[in-house]
């Protein structure tokens, strides 16, 4: 009987001293916007291409402020800041001086059919955003979650200007 207790004691002691299995690192949520300095993407813009690039990134309190530049000739010129977090992608109207980001470009988590709007302070115009497909795409660099969306912005002239967008595969991390 004493042997049983000694064996049980040794077994419990060894189990207690054994190292625990490593805890897997927490996965960062998909941010759906590029957050690496140097990341580039191209838009069709008025019949020509417009190349934008991340020129700076500032992370603080779970939020990331990304400075975006536009390629003009051979040089990238910073022109606006975007706030990226697990709650979505937000922008303002002040450009490089931005400290508040009141306008949601994309709200997260996104579901197809989600809809929101906001009023542009200059001129009282209303912008409407609608989430399309939320899907996974596969490209040569891997599989990525993407969100398609559409926004309508009233501009001077008949009817609103529609913009279709989405998070290209390189935006999801």
Residue in the block written with tokens 């709200």 = 107
Which of the four pLDDT bands, split at 50, 70 and 90, describes residue 23? Answer: low
Structural domain boundaries in the chain: 28-171
Dist. CA 53–CA 41, nearest whole Å: 7
pLDDT for 166 equals 52
Instruction: Give the per-residue pLDDT at 173.
Output: 33
Condensed to tens digits (0 to 9), the pLDDT of residues 61-73 reads: 888 999 999 999 8
pLDDT at 12: 40
Spatial CB neighbours of 58, under 8 Å, sequence gap ≥ 6: 64, 65, 67
Q: Are 162 and 152 in contact (CB under 8 A)?
A: yes
Separation in Å, CA 34 to CA 83, 85, 86, 111, 126: 11, 11, 13, 21, 27
């Amino acid at each position: 009987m004493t042997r049983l207790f000694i064996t049980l004691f040794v077994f419990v002691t060894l189990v207690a001293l054994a190292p625990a299995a490593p805890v897997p690192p927490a996965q960062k949520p998909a941010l759906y916007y590029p957050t690496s300095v140097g990341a580039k993407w191209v838009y069709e813009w008025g019949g020509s291409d417009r190349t934008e690039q991340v020129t700076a990134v500032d992370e603080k309190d779970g939020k990331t402020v990304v400075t975006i530049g536009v390629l003009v000739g051979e040089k990238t010129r910073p022109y606006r800041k975007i706030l990226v977090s697990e709650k979505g992608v937000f922008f303002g109207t002040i450009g490089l001086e931005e400290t508040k980001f009141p306008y949601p470009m994309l709200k997260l988590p996104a579901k197809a059919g989600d809809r929101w709007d906001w009023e542009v302070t200059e001129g009282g115009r209303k912008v409407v955003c609608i989430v399309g497909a939320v899907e996974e795409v596969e490209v040569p660099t891997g599989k990525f979650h993407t969100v398609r969306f559409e926004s309508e912005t009233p501009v001077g002239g008949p009817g609103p200007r529609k913009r279709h967008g989405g998070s290209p595969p390189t935006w999801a991390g």
